[in-house]
Structure 1
Amino acid sequence: MKVEAFIKVLNADFYTGVPDSQLKPLCNYLRAEYGIDPKHHVIAANEGNCTALAAGYHLATGKIPAVYMQNSGEGNIINPVASLLNDKVYAIPVIFVVGWRGEPGIHDEPQHIYQGQVTVKLLEDMDIRAFVIRQDTTMEDVSAAMKEFHYVLSQGKSVAFVIGKGGLSYDGKVKYANDNTMSREDIIKHIVKVSGEDPIVSTTGKASRELFEIREANGQSHKYDFLTVGSMGHSSSIALGVAINKPQQKIWCIDGDGAALMHMGSMAVIGANAPANLVHIVINNGAHETVGGMPTVASKIDMVAIAKACGYSNAVCVDNFEALDKALNQAKTDNELAFIEVKCAIGARADLGRPTTKAVENKEIFMEYLQDIS
């Protein structure tokens, strides 16, 4: 159905969420209609964050907010849904809009398969009544569901519209761009060159896809890399776990701004433990590019100051390849925790592929390599 019709049925005037490719029509509509306006539309750091923000909106206005997210974010909302929104606690109603990646019977990437299987069940377990919107769902169907939802919401309970593939459409065009010049793929090529045979942990999305293809193009083994194809926001913690247990080996983490924001508390833990062998690189294009390009707040904050405040002894920001190479080579030779923020353009090759190896195979060869270098 057209996203404009869906918005009309919801009749909400405040939206907050984390962008999702399945919800790209909704995200693009909100961007075109509201931009980033704290009164009507806020892109949050993670799904729990936007759930709490929605609760605050309801407390202040008495109105019912809408929260959008990919189904992978259901885990992040369990705590605030169960201990804040639930009708046995504060009875705060929210309309969730959930992109259904990994829907059974529809091909998707491995990180979405199990999540897709349990998407509706998780909502039901959280006492959130759900209605699925698919490509053939009509406005009349959604209006009827919303009519039933009104009673549920009036009881202080939450509801969800689960959006299957092609469930929403939007004809408007929204262009996402910034003023940075370096491409992420070229940045990763420079990292690969300097890191040599050091292990790399890369974040979910296009960064890991590009790293995989760079290794293929170079004729290199994939044993050097752990591709965090899911678990957005956790690659730096994975890298920390590796670095602590391989203290004589330099470990590199290729992170993204959206991922770093999602669980920024991990930077405080990294800084407090201060592994001298870890290099944490945040490629910052100020966008959730992998799922469509919606902006993050990372272009408005000082990531280097945050890293230094968290305890990173060496933290720099670079916006050109000469400065990048200097920072990478210094991090390679120095014996201290390093943080490198790299300003990056928005965009990727149209023919960018996906890893052709299974996730379990990636894990096994990476673990074998870590054993070999111990």
Structure 2
Amino acid sequence: MLNPAWFLDELDRHRIGCITGVPCSYISGLYSMLEDGTRPYFPATSEGEAVAIAAGAWLAGSRGLVLAQNSGLGNMVNPLSSLTEPFEIPVILGVSRRGWPAGTDEPQHALMGQITPDLLRLLGIHTEKLALDQAAAARQLSHAAGRCDERRSMAFVLEKGVLDNAVPPAEVAEPEPLPPPAVRVLRAGPRPTRAQVLESWLALGISRPTVATTGYTSRELYGLDDRDGHFYLVGSMGCAPALAGGLAFAGLPVTVLDGDGALLMRMGSLATLARHVRTPFLHVVLDNGRHESTGGQRTNSGGVDFAAAALACGYRAAWRCDGREAVTAALREAVAHHDGCVLVHCLVRPGVAAKPPRPKDRLPDLALRFRTHVTDNFAVAEGGSGGYSIRP
């Protein structure tokens, strides 16, 4: 049985700068230590969200660890297969094995308990059972760190009893929630296209890492102005805010260009970001009510007030904009906020003049280009997400 304090010290030694995930009773002692506030721990609302957060941590120049029980492994399949694998972004996984040995757990865990190691290996992830012996476990963690340097992921299967759970829950005082501010509603000018909103953002000339969601948003941004500081999701629909969160948790200012259909897939990210982000974080939602790149089918956004939802989750400010001049004004006001998450909900016209181009570079090269840009131009201030500076 491993001591959780020793395990966390080993993670520090191997420069694991971001720990995220969803809890499991099999390793509750480890979570109790993480929640004391002394570690870079950012609990997620879903396991797939956690994978995207860890990917963002790597893009910020760090290493990320995702902790989850195997019942959430299915939720992780999409970002593991369409984000970390094609971009060659390494993450370390710690997956507890509920439902194993067979017959020792609740029936809903039985199938996943049986197939957990095989499922991870089918995803192309090198998988090992974390050893009970401290010296052997230390070698395994060193191996995982080395694989990160080679841009290869690794998974540890955590069987029941591998970590000591005799750790009392941390006493953490959450701040009293403040009444949310009002949504600022702006109407001016004709309703813009998605490309026109992107043009308005680019025209501001703000130098910060920008993450664009999958589909035509990434492709139009690429076609308008390809920059080293742009990260284009090509899959992992719904994961753009969480990936941007991984950058923000490292202390970086970030903009995420999101879509209505994408945000609806993982709206829990709003709560995660609001709770943990302290640097400038601009969340732009381009809402055309359509899944544009798959043929223009309707989304379920017609009755959704994204701005109000963001404020209810703890965002510092939010705008709802109808009209190109309204969008420009809202973006200018939003970038003036420097203390956490703000959201600009932009109503846009559906349709595209022509199918936008896809990035021509290899995806691993795009990821490395972005990571190099971030680490060369932004220095994370002491204290993680407490601040940042732009390198001279």
Aligned residue in 2 for 1:353: 357
Structure 1 residues 353 and 322: CA distance shift in structure 2, 3 A: same
Matched, 1:236 2:246: no
Alignment of structure 1 residues 90-129 onto 2, 5 Å: none
Contact 1:208–1:227 (Cα < 8 Å) also in 2 = yes
| Post-superposition offset of 1:75 | 8.5
Aligned residue in 2 for 1:128: none
Structure 1 residues 275 and 189: CA distance shift in structure 2, 3 A: same
| Post-superposition offset of 1:344 | 0.8
Aligned residue in 2 for 1:298: 301
| Post-superposition offset of 1:278 | 0.6
Matched, 1:368 2:378: no
| Post-superposition offset of 1:264 | 0.7
Matched, 1:259 2:269: no
Matched, 1:196 2:201: no
Matched, 1:268 2:271: yes
Structure 1 residues 195 and 315: CA distance shift in structure 2, 3 A: farther
5+ residue gaps, structure 2, are 1-47, 49-76, 83-98, 100-106, 109-121, 124-189, 380-392
In the aligned structure 1, how far is the partner of 2:256 from the partner of 2:363?
18
Contact 2:209–2:229 (Cα < 8 Å) also in 1 = yes
Deviations 1:178-198 (A, max 9, x none): xx8311011111111224322
Matched, 1:332 2:335: yes
In the aligned structure 1, how far is the partner of 2:284 from the partner of 2:313?
15
- Residue in structure 1 matching 2:217, options 194, 202, 207: 207
In the aligned structure 1, how far is the partner of 2:246 from the partner of 2:264?
19
Structure 1 residues 335 and 73: CA distance shift in structure 2, 3 A: closer
Q: How many positions carry a matched residue from both structures?
A: 206
Matched, 1:344 2:348: yes
- For 2:191, give the aligned amino acid: T
In the aligned structure 1, how far is the partner of 2:316 from the partner of 2:206?
23
- Residue in structure 1 matching 2:251, options 240, 246, 253: 246
**RMSD between superposed Cα atoms in Å:** 3.2
Contact 1:284–1:343 (Cα < 8 Å) also in 2 = yes
| Post-superposition offset of 1:274 | 3.6
In the aligned structure 2, how far is the partner of 1:74 from the partner of 1:366?
19
2:369 match: secondary structure: helix
Deviations 1:65-107 (A, max 9, x none): xxxxxx969989xxxxxx9xxxx76xxxxxxxxxxxxxxxxxx
Contact 1:223–1:365 (Cα < 8 Å) also in 2 = yes
- For 1:263, give the aligned amino acid: R
Structure 1 residues 195 and 314: CA distance shift in structure 2, 3 A: farther
Contact 2:244–2:254 (Cα < 8 Å) also in 1 = yes
After TM superposition, the runs of 4+ consecutive aligned structure 1 residues lying more than 6 A away are 73-76
Contact 1:287–1:296 (Cα < 8 Å) also in 2 = yes
- For 1:207, give the aligned amino acid: T
5+ residue gaps, structure 1, are 1-47, 49-70, 77-82, 90-117, 120-179, 217-221
Between the two proteins, what is the percent identity of the paired residues? 30
In the aligned structure 2, how far is the partner of 1:195 from the partner of 1:203?
20
Contact 1:239–1:252 (Cα < 8 Å) also in 2 = yes
1:271 match: secondary structure: helix
| Post-superposition offset of 1:246 | 2.8
Aligned residue in 2 for 1:68: none
- For 1:357, give the aligned amino acid: D
Deviations 1:154-208 (A, max 9, x none): xxxxxxxxxxxxxxxxxxxxxxxxxx83110111111112243221000000000
- For 1:286, give the aligned amino acid: G
- Residue in structure 2 matching 1:312, options 315, 325, 330: 315
* Greater RCO, CA 8 A, separation 6+: 2
| Post-superposition offset of 1:342 | 0.4
Higher helix content, 1 or 2 = 1
In the aligned structure 2, how far is the partner of 1:197 from the partner of 1:355?
21
1:338 match: secondary structure: strand
Structure 1 residues 302 and 185: CA distance shift in structure 2, 3 A: same
- For 1:189, give the aligned amino acid: E
- For 1:244, give the aligned amino acid: F
Deviations 1:213-256 (A, max 9, x none): 1115xxxxx20101111111000001011012134xx3100000
Matched, 1:284 2:294: no
| Post-superposition offset of 1:291 | 0.8
Deviations 1:85-135 (A, max 9, x none): xxx76xxxxxxxxxxxxxxxxxxxxxxxxxxxx89xxxxxxxxxxxxxxxx
Alignment of structure 1 residues 21-60 onto 2, 5 Å: none
Contact 1:261–1:298 (Cα < 8 Å) also in 2 = yes
| Post-superposition offset of 1:328 | 1.1
Aligned residue in 1 for 2:126: none
In the aligned structure 2, how far is the partner of 1:189 from the partner of 1:287?
20
In the aligned structure 2, how far is the partner of 1:303 from the partner of 1:193?
24
